[in-house]
């Protein structure tokens, strides 16, 4: 009997905890408000950002988006990381129901969740990168990755010595296919003899797969590999770095950010920049200014949403860069149109 | 009723003390990291119980953990270490998705249960492979079930990618509305938190676990095989058949967990780049619950509360979500290392009764 007594006490304790928790129902708004006052003035615009499962330190677009938010003046920025897809809705709701003025979803995976929550909360303002959500209160920002990839394709096509070039993609989804399509078209424009080897690893978070893919390409004689695979691409860089150290001359073309800053100039030929940070910053600024409108926009070369890294001149000769510039102008003027799906 | 107490209360004290010790260790880590543990724990509870939406979502987080926890515990009671809950979970998800999308023209009252049963059954069969190999060939169940986890993951991705894919997305089509087990009325009541019938199912499965294991002859056999297979065989029990049976039922539980996640929460299946982890969390829940069905309910509540509350901790107190995993890890550590906990509480007990320390 003594034991059942103990158990009763335990149960009572558990119950009090539960009840105590229920009791504070009304305090919720109060406690989140106190969090604001703790972090300086409450009058500021609040912007929240939810990462996809890549997390905020993915060295790629989540990180880029967060840097954009941090660069914002006159707003309080906060992020929540999603560890699994279940978290998308709850994390977004945390900001939306917490009265944030704008909630970002980073990555196409969050498209469904954003759409659902936007429908449930017509007064909330949301925005998403890399997906198009058709709701009046959602700003969808997508990029013409094909245009930027075309330019690095030009670089690769002109600089390859073996006439074999590799492409490592994360997953075979429309966004990544745009990279491949543009890259392929860029190579073909300047070097019809070059061959493009393609490998979709099926994951954005598996550096080991990237390393294997890159290793296969380099063994097959490729001397330049373009990666559009998030953290999987880290493996591509690791493989290239190892080979460069052992005297082989191979290159990687980085993606999303200027990856030469991260992985060094000896392996990074150039990078295809996708200015997620600029887009995040600008749209958030619109909320601060009160000019935010739902809808979708596509950022290409013309809008300076994509491009090639400024540090490219370290490894890329001036005549190649001149050619890149020439094609850039042609794309902007509409003289060259870059395909969005890879031609077979 | 007394029997329930008996099974339960012996380990309850150890669990409670272990949880408290785990929270203290977590607090120390937070202090070292420069965070305020009191504020952090407070935001954790506000996150979980703060409003009806979060409370509902916490229940959503807890539900699959109950089922995968029960799956682990059921096998453990029979002396099997089912580390393959993850794979059985994924197989259950996939089966439910297939039935939810491909079977058409049924009313909801048949379609939804059918999808759930399909999920449970496929999970069970997946685990039965492990049981069969163990019973007939003596292959260690840990190895086979780990390997089957990977096979399940890639098989599920293959099926989604090649048969169910929604154009231009990395996920399947939505399941038909008739297969959904969302409780819309409750969901609306709780600010569209994802409430579903699987929550009730999880509790029923726990009751079934208790009844089957301790009230039926078959359950007795399973436990006998678990305690001492040689003695069980000597007493005339078919050890091999009991192993397959235990693995099958264990797999059914894990498969159900996967099925209710699809039918009640996601309504579609994504192409997964890695394991969802719910099956592995079930192992931890089983350990916290001391392999007792009612302990597991509480263990899952604790685990789910901490997991869901971790977002609140990072939100309200700036504590990174990794830290909450340290807290959970320390709780499991203290439960696994019961000796430490017993040593902690020994002085309190020995005063009262010398010969009976717990």
pLDDT of residue B14: 77
**DSSP one-letter code for B289:** T
Give residue B309's pLDDT. 85
Q: Is the pLDDT of residue A6 over 90?
A: no
Distance of alpha carbon B11 from its chain centroid, rounded? 19
Q: Is residue A14 part of a domain?
A: no
Q: What is the pLDDT of residue B33?
A: 84
Question: How much is the average pLDDT of A145-174?
Answer: 91
Nearest to B321 among A24, A83, A109 (CB): A83
Residues in chain A: 344
Q: What is the pLDDT of residue A202?
A: 81
Adjacency order of strands within the sheet including A306-308: A195-200, A164-169, A224-228, A251-256, A268-274, A306-308
For A186, other C-beta atoms within 10 Å of its C-beta total 29
CA distance A96 to B180: 26
Phi and psi (nearest 5°) for A308?
-115, 150
d(CA B340, CA A328): 68
A29 located within any domain: no
Most confident residue range from A20-24, A27-31, B337-341: B337-341
Is A25 in contact with B274 (Cβ distance < 8 A)?
A: no
Residue ranges in chain B whose pLDDT is less than 50: 7-8, 357-358
- CATH number of the domain residue A129 falls in: 3.40.50.2300
pLDDT at A39: 42
Q: What is the pLDDT of residue B5?
A: 52
Backbone phi, psi, residue B40, to 5°:
-65, -50
- Would you say B229 and B79 are in contact if contact means Cβ atoms under 8 Å apart? yes
State whether A176 and A321 are in the same domain: yes
pLDDT at B48: 87
Range of the domain at A328: 145-274+306-333
pLDDT for position A241: 94
Q: Do residues A159 and A320 lie in contact, with contact meaning Cβ atoms separated by under 8 Å?
A: yes
Tell me, letter by letter, the H, E, C secondary structure of B312-342: HHHHHCCCCHHHHHHHHHHHHHHHHCHHHHH
Tell me: do A234 and A91 sit in the same domain.
no
Residue B49 to residue A18, Cβ atoms within 8 A: yes
Residue A14 has a pLDDT of 55
Mean pLDDT of A194-216: 90
Q: What are the residues of chain A with a beta carbon less than 8 Å away from any beta carbon of chain B?
A: 3-4, 6-7, 10, 14, 18, 21-22, 24-25, 27-28, 31-32, 35, 53, 78, 80-81, 83-87, 89-91, 93-94, 97-98, 108-109, 112, 120, 171, 173-174, 202-206
For the residues A179-184, what does the mean pLDDT come to? 94
In a domain, A36, yes or no: no
Do A191 and A316 share a domain, yes or no?
A: yes
pLDDT at B2: 57
Residues A183 and A313 in one domain: yes
pLDDT at A26: 35
Same domain, A115 and A84: yes
Which residue of chain A is at minimal alpha-carbon distance from B302? A14
**B61 with A86: Cβ contact below 8 A:** yes
User: DSSP E strands: which ranges in A148-304?
Assistant: 164-169, 195-200, 224-228, 251-256, 268-274, 295-299
- Both A161 and A180 in one domain: the answer is yes
pLDDT of residue B124: 97
A67 lies in some domain: yes
Q: Do A92 and A71 sit in the same domain of this protein?
A: yes
Interval A105-130 mean pLDDT = 91
Q: What is the pLDDT of residue A13?
A: 54
Which residues on chain B are in Cβ contact (under 8 Å) with A94?
A: 311, 315
In this predicted structure, what is the pLDDT of residue B90?
Answer: 96
- Token duo for residue A79: 């992020």
pLDDT at A252 over 50: yes
Residues 91-130 of B with CB under 8 A from A: none
pLDDT at A8 over 80: no
The mean pLDDT of A319-344, rounded to a whole number, is 88
Q: How confident is the model at residue A170, as a pLDDT?
A: 86
The confidence score (pLDDT) of residue B187 equals 86
Contact A180, A245 (CB under 8 A): no
d(Cα B131, Cα A214) in Å, to the nearest integer? Answer: 40
Is it the case that residue A41 has pLDDT exceeding 50? no
* Pair (A312, A207) in one structural domain: yes
pLDDT at residue A84 tops 60: yes
In a domain, A239, yes or no: yes
* Cβ within 8 Å, pair A93-B53: yes
What is the structure's pLDDT at B67? 97
**Structural domains present in chain B:** 52-318 (1.10.3470)
User: Are A248 and A109 members of one domain?
Assistant: no
**Residue A18 falls inside a structural domain:** no
Nearest CB partner across the interface for B57, out of A84, A90, A202 = A90
Q: From A1, which residue of chain B is nearest by alpha-carbon distance?
A: B2
Residue A252 within a domain = yes
Mutate which: B265, B311, B314, B353, vs A, most A CBs within 10 A: B311
Using the predicted structure, report yes or no on whether residue A29 has a pLDDT greater than 80: no
Assess whether A317 and A291 both reside in one domain.
Answer: no
Give the residue-averaged pLDDT of A39-68.
79
Q: Is B167 on the interface with A (CB under 8 A)?
A: no
Structure tokens at A132: 């198009």
Tens of pLDDT, residue by residue over A297-315, are 899 988 888 999 888 888 8
Whole-angstrom distance, CA of residue A307 vs CA of residue A293:
26
Tell me which chain A residues have a C-beta less than 8 angstroms from the C-beta of B6: 3
Instruction: Give the number of A-B residue pairs with CB atoms closer than 8 Å.
Output: 95
Tokens describing residue B21: 């010790």
The reply to whether A314 and A188 lie within a common domain is yes
A175 and A61 within one domain: no
Cα–Cα distance between A226 and A198 in angstroms, integer? 10
Whole-number Å distance between alpha carbons of B108 and B177? 8
Count CB atoms within 10 A of the CB of residue A224.
Answer: 27
**How many domains, in total, are found in chain A?**
2
CB-based contact B49 A25, cutoff 8 Å: yes
Phi, psi of A251 (to 5 degrees): -130, 155
């Amino acid at each position: 009997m003594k034991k059942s007594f103990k158990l009763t006490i335990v149960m009572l304790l558990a119950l009090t905890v539960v009840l105590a928790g229920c009791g504070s129902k009304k305090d919720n708004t109060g406690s989140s408000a106190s969090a604001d006052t703790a972090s300086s003035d409450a009058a500021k615009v609040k912007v929240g950002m939810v990462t996809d499962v890549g997390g905020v330190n993915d060295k790629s677009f989540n990180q880029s988006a967060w840097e954009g938010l941090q660069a914002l003046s006159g707003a309080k920025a906060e992020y929540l990381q999603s560890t699994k897809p279940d978290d998308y809705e709850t994390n977004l709701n945390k900001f939306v129901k917490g009265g944030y003025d704008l909630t970002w979803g980073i990555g196409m995976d969050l498209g469904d969740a954003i759409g659902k929550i936007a429908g449930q909360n017509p007064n909330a303002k949301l925005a998403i990168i890399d997906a198009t959500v058709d709701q009046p209160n959602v700003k969808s920002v997508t990029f013409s990755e094909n245009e930027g990839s075309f330019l690095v394709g030009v670089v690769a096509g002109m600089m390859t010595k073996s006439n074999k070039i590799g492409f490592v993609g994360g997953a075979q989804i429309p966004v990544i296919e745009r990279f491949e399509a543009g890259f392929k078209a860029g190579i073909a424009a300047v070097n019809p003899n070059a061959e493009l080897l393609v490998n979709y690893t099926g994951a954005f978070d598996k550096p080991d797969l990237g390393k294997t893919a890159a290793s296969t390409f380099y063994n097959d004689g490729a001397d330049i590999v373009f990666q559009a695979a998030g953290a999987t691409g880290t493996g591509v860089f690791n493989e290239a770095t190892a080979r460069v150290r052992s005297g082989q001359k191979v290159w990687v073309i980085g993606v999303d950010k200027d990856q030469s800053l991260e992985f060094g100039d000896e392996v990074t030929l150039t990078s295809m920049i996708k200015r997620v940070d600029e887009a995040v910053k600008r749209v958030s600024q619109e909320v601060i200014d009160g000019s935010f409108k739902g809808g979708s926009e596509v950022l290409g070369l013309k809008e300076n949403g994509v491009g090639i890294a400024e540090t490219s001149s370290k490894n890329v000769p001036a005549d190649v860069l001149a050619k890149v510039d020439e094609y850039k102008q042609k794309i902007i003027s509409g003289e060259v149109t870059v395909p969005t799906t890879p031609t077979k | 009723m007394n029997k329930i107490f008996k099974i339960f209360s012996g380990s309850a004290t150890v669990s409670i003390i272990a949880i408290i010790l785990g929270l203290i260790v977590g607090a120390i880590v937070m202090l070292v990291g420069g965070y305020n543990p009191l504020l952090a724990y407070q935001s954790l509870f506000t996150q979980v119980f703060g409003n009806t939406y979060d409370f509902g979502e916490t229940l959503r987080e807890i539900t699959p953990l109950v089922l995968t926890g029960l799956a682990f515990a059921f096998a453990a009671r029979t002396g099997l270490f089912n580390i393959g809950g993850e794979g059985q979970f994924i197989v259950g998800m996939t089966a439910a998705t297939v039935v939810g999308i491909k079977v058409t023209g049924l009313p909801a009252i048949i379609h939804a249960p059918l999808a759930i049963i399909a999920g449970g059954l496929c999970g069970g069969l997946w685990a039965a492979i492990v049981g069969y190999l163990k019973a007939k060939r003596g292959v260690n169940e840990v190895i086979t079930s780990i390997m089957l986890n990977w096979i399940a993951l890639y098989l599920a991705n293959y099926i989604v990618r090649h048969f169910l894919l929604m154009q231009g997305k990395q996920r399947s089509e939505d399941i038909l509305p008739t297969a959904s087990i969302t409780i819309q009325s409750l969901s609306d009541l709780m600010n569209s938190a994802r409430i579903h019938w699987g929550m009730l199912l999880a509790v029923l499965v726990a009751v079934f676990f208790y009844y089957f294991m301790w009230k039926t002859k078959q359950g007795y056999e399973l436990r006998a095989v678990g305690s001492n297979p040689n003695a069980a065989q000597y007493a005339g029990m078919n050890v091999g058949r009991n192993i397959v049976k235990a693995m099958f039922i264990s797999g059914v539980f894990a498969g159900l967990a996967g099925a209710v996640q699809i039918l009640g929460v996601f309504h579609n299946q994504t192409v997964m780049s890695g394991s969802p982890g719910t099956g592995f969390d079930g192992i931890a829940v089983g350990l916290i619950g001391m392999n007792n069905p009612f302990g597991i309910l509480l263990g899952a509540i604790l685990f789910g509360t901490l997991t869901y509350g971790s977002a609140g901790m990072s939100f309200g107190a700036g504590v990174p979500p990794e830290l909450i995993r340290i807290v959970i890890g320390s709780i499991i550590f203290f439960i696994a290392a019961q000796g430490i906990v017993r040593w902690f509480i020994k002085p309190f007990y020995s005063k009262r009764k010398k010969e009976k320390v717990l």
